[in-house]
Copies of this chain bind each other. A is one copy, B any other.
Amino acid sequence: MMNLINETSRRARGQAALEAIDGEAGEKVVAALKDIAPDFATYLLEFPFGDIYTRPGLSLRDREIATIAALCALGHATPQLKVHIAAGLNVGLTRDEIVEILMQMSVYAGFPAALNGLFAAKEVFGLHGEGNGASD
C-alpha cells in the first residue's frame, strides 16, 4: 500500500519539483521528448526530480549551486546550464551568487569553461552589452 502511494507520489512529486525548479523550461524539455523518447520524460520526472531534488537533506537553493557548478565545469551541456541558471533564480539564488559560482569554476575547470558559463548567464539574465565574446 505504501508502495502504491509512493509510486503515485513519486511521479507527481517529480512533476511538482520540475515545475517549481525549472518552470516553463522544464515543461519544454518534457514536451520535446514526446515524439523521440516519451519514456525518457518519465524517467526524468521520476529519478532526478521525483527521487533526488525532493530529498530533504539539502535545500533546493544548495542543490542548484551544485548543479550550476557541475554543468559549468563539464562544459558540454550549455542548454541544461541555461535551464539551471534560470532554476537557480527560481529557488532563491541571486544573480550575483550565480556569477560567483561560475567565476569559481575557472579554478576547477579552467577559464574557458567559466567564460562560457558567464556568457550563458548573461543570456539568461537578458543582458545585452558589448559584443558577446563567446562567439568570437
* A43: min CB distance to chain B, Å: 6
How far is A108 from B28 in the complex, measured between Cα atoms in Å?
Answer: 19
Q: How many residues of A contact B (CB 8 A)?
A: 82
Bitwise interface map of A from 85 to 126 toward B, beta carbon under 8 Å scored 1, else 0: 000000000001101111111111111111110110110010
How far is A106 from B52 in the complex, measured between Cα atoms in Å?
Answer: 9
Tell me if A82 counts as interface (CB < 8 A to partner B): yes
Is the Cβ of A28 less than 8 Å from the Cβ of B107? Answer: no
Is the Cβ of A96 less than 8 Å from the Cβ of B65? Answer: no
CB < 8 Å: which of B6, B74, B114 contacts A40?
B114
Bitwise interface map of A from 21 to 49 toward B, beta carbon under 8 Å scored 1, else 0: 00001001111111111011001100110
